[in-house]
Amino acid sequence: MEILYVLIPLTLILVAAGCWAFFWAVDAGQFDDLDSPGWDALEDQETISTRDK
Amino acid sequence: MSDRHDEPRCFHCQEPLAGSKLTARIGARLEPVCCPGCQAVAEMIAGSGLADYYVRRTTPAPRPTAASEEGSWRAYLEPQVASAFVTRGAVVDSVDLLIENLRCPACGWLIERAVGAIPDVKTVEVNAGLGRARIEWTAGAPRFEQVMRTIAQLGYVPHPITEETTSRVYCAERRSMLKRFVVATFGMMQVMMFAVAGYSAELGGERIDATLEQYFRLVSLLVSVPVLFYAGQPFLTSAWNSLRTKSVGMDLTVSAALVLAFVASAWNTFVGHGEVYFDSITMFVFFLTLVRLIELIVRHRTSSVADALARHLPATAQRAVGDKVETVPVQQLRLGDNVIVPSGAIVPADGEIVDGATLLDESLLTGESLPVARRVGDRVASGSINTGSPLRIAVTATGSGTVLANIVNLLRRAQTRKPAAMRTANRAAAVFLRVVLIASVMVCLAWLAVDPKQAFAATLAVLVVACPCAFSIAMPAALAASTARLAKQGVLITRPEAIETLADIDHVIFDKTGTLTRGEIQLAGCEVVGTRSREECLAIAAALERSSGHPIASAFRNMDTAGLMATAIETVPGFGIEGTIDGKRYRIGIAAFAAELRGAAVPRTRESLDGTTIVLGDEREALAVFTLSDALREDSPAAIEKLRSIGIDSEILSGDGSAAVASVAKHCGITSFFARRTPEQKLSRVHELHAQGKRVAMVGDGINDAPVLGAADVSIAMGRGAALALAAADVIFVSERPSALAGVIRTARRTAKIARQNLLWAGLYNFSALPLAALGYIPPWAAALGMSASSLFVLLNALRLLPRQSARNAQVARTAPAALATSA
């Protein structure tokens, strides 16, 4: 069971990384509008918001 | 909901066709529409290759209103006006808009498409959830007015916003809540993993290796710290605040339990023996954060739109200086300025009419649904809509001095006086917590006297077993579940306590305008008094009214003119319309106006001034008397009937004329009604009912109702209602079906019942376990398990309130519009 002394800190690091990734996503505005982007995928033409980027 | 398909509905707005024969060309097919407005919008959408919108949308399109019409956007061409809203940049100019009626992602898609097609426009970002848009175009290109006009032509109402604050605050709040929620979720999962290892070993009659167990505890402690002090920080802060103000709130009991359990667990971790409760702590924080997050999203979704709508006043005014007219931002108006109010515009400031006579729609201020005649010397209030001919007014009050601003103040006062919602759970938890605290001190002292070694363990057992976790979750869990359920039915709860109060309601007050009625004028009756047939009279009236922008004209909009064309049309504001058809002169309007044409004198009655009856006459005789009314919503009588069946009285408390109110009351089967009530009178009626011990729900939608909405136990607004009522309402009916009210109250009663069961269960558990723990009979692990189990029971019980899967599928099928079938 000694392996737990290595594995558990490892999971904690992974959890911390997950939290960091999520924090980044939230701050980048990924969760601000959960509805509209879903429709963009159904659209054949390029969307106006990506046209000039 | 089957009636949605039974009668023919408008392809565009899904309103009943009401006999309209109009059609709109969508691709190769002709679809029925209810009015020329919908026809124009539908054909414009299809003509721009955006017909996909009808397939994608999940809610009906907004019905175009007068505000959608072109002229009102011309002001945004003025550089001075544009500069107040447009942010100029080196590369792009941008503007932030709040878009009224934006209801689903498909609406956002439609706007992105249509606005994106304007030359120079670089980016269009529409957030359908918040009803907001940000549009950027090449710096210096004069596109502002075109952007506004395009959105308006689609049937939405764009409001430019300069203050970003409300939405920034919301965005920040939502982001931080999301982060807290994720930390709580991850932390809870980690800690639970270690706890389950311990529990399963104990259930198997074994113990984990002591070093390993201590290791688990240390890791759990490490993970619990961010969960409690970061994710749970809002509760701790609010508890600290309530402690400072010496009041005992829900957050205080919750935080006390959390902090005590944490301190005890941390202590036990360091001393190396005794129970730890990190699993309970993290799970508790997780559930609390989840509930708060849902609450936040629901609350802001409704209020963010309402906030900006409260600023109903136009952004610009036309000021007359000498012979010239200049467009200036409203903020620059000064007392005594002469302002021109064009036909169809909103009065920008309080004032006195110095030139012109017109009909003003004051429904926003008085709730009166029919326009009122105003002439030189009369006072006009800002926020009224000029439905007649242009006016010139001298400004008497601006900004915070206006009637509109005073009503807002009245509302704020009423809100602070709102009767406190049922706080049984909080009060009980507070009392219980005090009992527990006292009991634990007594237990501690008793054990110190009897067996000092066991004192700490027993005291902790008491604190843990009696932790009012289930007790605190009992209410919020039930409320969150029913909030979700109601949201699926198109009913938004903006304050969770409203559900508790709804369950107790035994009296419902309706404001007639827009709640029981549609808020649109319709032809209620046609009495032929002359020699012409009924059909002829209607055709003549329709031809005369065809070109008029007056609200009364909308009653005739769907009528068949039988090929008649009116020429030489002259509108006399406040009186009526005169026109020539086939060489004959006709007049339609108030009785005196029509009588004048044939040289007869008819005394003006109050009734005719109200505009509820109008007369059609030619040069020889009066032809017909039309009765106009605000049409009843189809399900209003059913709504009253359903309310009665669950033992709730209804009454109408309206600002409208008595004849109109009586007729609505009769049709709905309401015996108690009051007409021509001012906001103050409505307020005192609510206080009177309170004095009789009634619990009052107020259903309204006019701005004048806002103070009354605030004073009632529960305030309910219909979705399209005026802005302020929305901001103040506890419950919002997006579906605009009054008949849903009875169902909502039933759900609320069920919620209250489940909440009571939960409280009873949690209370029974806590009180029965307390003495056992005090006597040392309950080992701490059993106490922790019992505590978690009781929380779980309470949650599962609350989940019964959630809509079932089948119900949800039915909902999806219902909201998918008929357009899906027709375009497939």
**Which of B64-78, B179-193, B251-265: highest mean pLDDT?**
B179-193
Q: Which residues of A touch B223 (CB under 8 A)?
A: 12, 15
Q: Is A2 on the interface with B (CB under 8 A)?
A: no
What single string gives the DSSP state of each residue in B11-49?
Answer: TTT--B-TT---EEEETTEEEE-SSHHHHHHHHHHHHTT
Q: Which residues of B touch A2 (CB under 8 A)?
A: none
Q: Do the Cβ atoms of B129 and A34 come within 8 Å? A: yes
C-alpha distances (whole Å) from B465 to each of A35, B253, B443, B574, B800 are 43, 15, 13, 75, 26
Q: Do the Cβ atoms of B125 and A26 come within 8 Å? A: no
Cβ contacts of B784 within 8 Å, gap of 6 or more: B275, B277, B279, B280, B464
Q: Do the Cβ atoms of B104 and A18 come within 8 Å? A: no
pLDDT at residue B26 is higher than 80: no
Distance CA B327, CA B81 (A): 7
| Nearest CA distance, B92 vs chain A (angstrom) | 12
Distance CA B213, CA B194 (A): 9
pTM as predicted: 0.51
CA B97-B101-B105 angle, to 5 degrees, is 85
Q: Which residues of A touch B106 (CB under 8 A)?
A: 39
Q: What is the mean pLDDT of residues B63-77?
A: 58
Q: What is the mean pLDDT of residues B580-587?
A: 85
pLDDT at position B223: 94
Q: What band does B814 get if pLDDT is binned at 50, 70 and 90?
A: very low
Q: Do the Cβ atoms of B178 and A26 come within 8 Å? A: yes
Q: Of B104-118, B202-216, B307-321, B689-703, which range is least confident? A: B307-321
Residues facing residue B749 across a β-bridge: none
Distance CA B209, CA A2 (A): 11
pLDDT at position A19: 94
Q: Do the Cβ atoms of A22 and B182 come within 8 Å? A: yes
pLDDT at position B227: 93
Q: Is B728 in contact with B715 (CB distance < 8 Å)? A: yes
Distance CA B750, CA B808 (A): 19
pLDDT at position B663: 78
pLDDT at position B121: 87
pLDDT at position B120: 86
Q: Is B794 in contact with B468 (CB distance < 8 Å)? A: no
Residues of chain B above pLDDT 70, percent: 68
Q: Which residues of B touch A52 (CB under 8 A)?
A: 122-123
Q: Of B216-220, B299-303, B381-385, B501-505, which range is least confident? A: B299-303
Chain A to chain B, count of Cβ pairs less than 8 Å apart?
A: 76
Distance CA B93, CA B106 (A): 26
With CA atoms as reference, the chain B residue closest to A38 would be B105
With CA atoms as reference, the chain A residue closest to B124 would be A49
ipTM, two decimals, is: 0.83
pLDDT at residue B721 is higher than 60: no
Q: What is the mean pLDDT of residues B146-171?
A: 71
Dump pLDDT digits (tens) for A12-44.
999 999 999 999 999 988 887 776 677 666 666
The gap from C-alpha B606 to its chain's centroid, in whole angstroms, comes to: 36
Q: What band does B399 get if pLDDT is binned at 50, 70 and 90?
A: low
- Residue whose tokens read 């507070």: B430
pLDDT at residue B427 is higher than 70: no
Q: Do the Cβ atoms of B128 and A35 come within 8 Å? A: yes
Q: Do the Cβ atoms of B112 and A33 come within 8 Å? A: no
Distance CA B378, CA B375 (A): 6
Q: Which residues of A touch B179 (CB under 8 A)?
A: 22-23, 26
Q: Which residues of A touch B222 (CB under 8 A)?
A: 12
Single-letter amino acid, residue B668: C
pLDDT at position B173: 80
Six-digit token string for B69: 């019409």
pLDDT at position B466: 64
CA dihedral B814, B815, B820, B821 (to 10 degrees): 20
Annotated catalytic residue within B511, B630, B656, B713: B511
| Nearest CA distance, A38 vs chain B (angstrom) | 9
pLDDT at position B439: 77
Q: What band does B747 get if pLDDT is binned at 50, 70 and 90?
A: confident
pLDDT at position B28: 75
Dump pLDDT digits (tens) for B347-380.
888 888 888 878 787 765 554 556 777 878 888 8
The gap from C-alpha B186 to its chain's centroid, in whole angstroms, comes to: 34
Kindly give the pairing relationship between strand B92-100 and strand B157-160. Answer: antiparallel
Q: What band does B221 get if pLDDT is binned at 50, 70 and 90?
A: very high
Q: Which residues of A touch B104 (CB under 8 A)?
A: 35
| Nearest CA distance, B292 vs chain A (angstrom) | 17
Measure CB to CB from residue A38 to each of B105, B130, B182 and give the nearest one. B105
pLDDT at position B605: 46
With CA atoms as reference, the chain A residue closest to B136 would be A49
C-alpha distances (whole Å) from B321 to each of B78, B324, B327, B662, B746 are 16, 5, 11, 48, 60
Q: Is A47 left (phi over 0), alpha (psi -120 to 50) or beta?
A: beta
Q: Do the Cβ atoms of A19 and B105 come within 8 Å? A: no
Q: Is A19 on the interface with B (CB under 8 A)?
A: yes
pLDDT at position B701: 64
B618 is annotated as an active-site residue: no
Q: What band does B305 get if pLDDT is binned at 50, 70 and 90?
A: very low
Nearest partner of B678 among B452, B330, B315, B367, judged by Cα: B367
Cβ atoms within 10 Å, residue B197: 15
pLDDT at position B248: 54
Q: Do the Cβ atoms of A52 and B123 come within 8 Å? A: yes
Distance CA B109, CA B53 (A): 8
Q: Do the Cβ atoms of B179 and A23 come within 8 Å? A: yes
With CA atoms as reference, the chain A residue closest to B50 would be A43
pLDDT at residue B520 is higher than 70: no
pLDDT at position B804: 54
pLDDT at position B392: 87
Distance CA B170, CA B556 (A): 45
pLDDT at residue B718 is higher than 50: yes
Cβ contacts of B690 within 8 Å, gap of 6 or more: B419, B696
The gap from C-alpha B366 to its chain's centroid, in whole angstroms, comes to: 20
Q: Which residues of A touch B125 (CB under 8 A)?
A: 49
Q: What is the mean pLDDT of chain B?
A: 73
Cβ contacts of B319 within 8 Å, gap of 6 or more: B325, B326, B327, B328, B332, B333, B337, B338, B339, B340
What single string gives the DSSP state of each residue in B746-794?
Answer: HHHHHHHHHHHHHHHHHHHHHHHHHHHHHTT-S-HHHHHHHHHHHHHHH
pLDDT at residue B40 is higher than 50: yes
Of B533 and B601, more confident: B533
Q: Is A1 on the interface with B (CB under 8 A)?
A: yes
Six-digit token string for B442: 């007594």
Q: Is B144 in contact with B91 (CB distance < 8 Å)? A: no
Distance CA B207, CA B431 (A): 38
Q: What is the mean pLDDT of residues B523-549?
A: 79
pLDDT at position B54: 78
Q: Do the Cβ atoms of B108 and A23 come within 8 Å? A: no
Distance CA B584, CA B568 (A): 11
Cβ contacts of B811 within 8 Å, gap of 6 or more: B488, B489, B803
Helices in B451-533 by DSSP H: which ranges? 452-465, 469-488, 497-504
With CA atoms as reference, the chain B residue closest to A34 would be B129
**Which of B59-63, B382-386, B423-427, B571-575: highest mean pLDDT?**
B382-386
pLDDT at position B722: 44
Q: Is A12 on the interface with B (CB under 8 A)?
A: yes
Q: Do the Cβ atoms of A36 and B179 come within 8 Å? A: no
Q: What is the mean pLDDT of residues B531-536?
A: 83
Of B723 and B341, more confident: B341
Q: What is the mean pLDDT of residues B128-156?
A: 79
pLDDT at residue B275 is higher than 80: no
pLDDT at residue B487 is higher than 80: no
Q: What band does B225 get if pLDDT is binned at 50, 70 and 90?
A: very high
Q: Is A30 on the interface with B (CB under 8 A)?
A: no
Distance CA B439, CA B445 (A): 10
Q: What band does B780 get if pLDDT is binned at 50, 70 and 90?
A: low
Q: What is the mean pLDDT of residues B655-669?
A: 77
Q: Which residues of A touch B183 (CB under 8 A)?
A: 19
Q: Of A39-48, B91-100, B213-222, which range is least confident? A: A39-48
Of B157 and B684, more confident: B684
Of B822 and B428, more confident: B428
Distance CA B391, CA B232 (A): 58
Q: Is the dihedral of CA B17, B103, B4, B31 positive or negative?
A: positive
pLDDT at residue B683 is higher than 60: yes
With CA atoms as reference, the chain A residue closest to B53 would be A39
Q: Is A23 on the interface with B (CB under 8 A)?
A: yes
Distance CA B621, CA B598 (A): 6
Interface test with B, best of A4, A34, A35 (most B CBs within 10 A): A35
Of B784 and B616, more confident: B616
pLDDT at residue B327 is higher than 60: yes
Q: Is B514 in contact with B729 (CB distance < 8 Å)? A: no
Q: Do the Cβ atoms of A5 and B215 come within 8 Å? A: yes
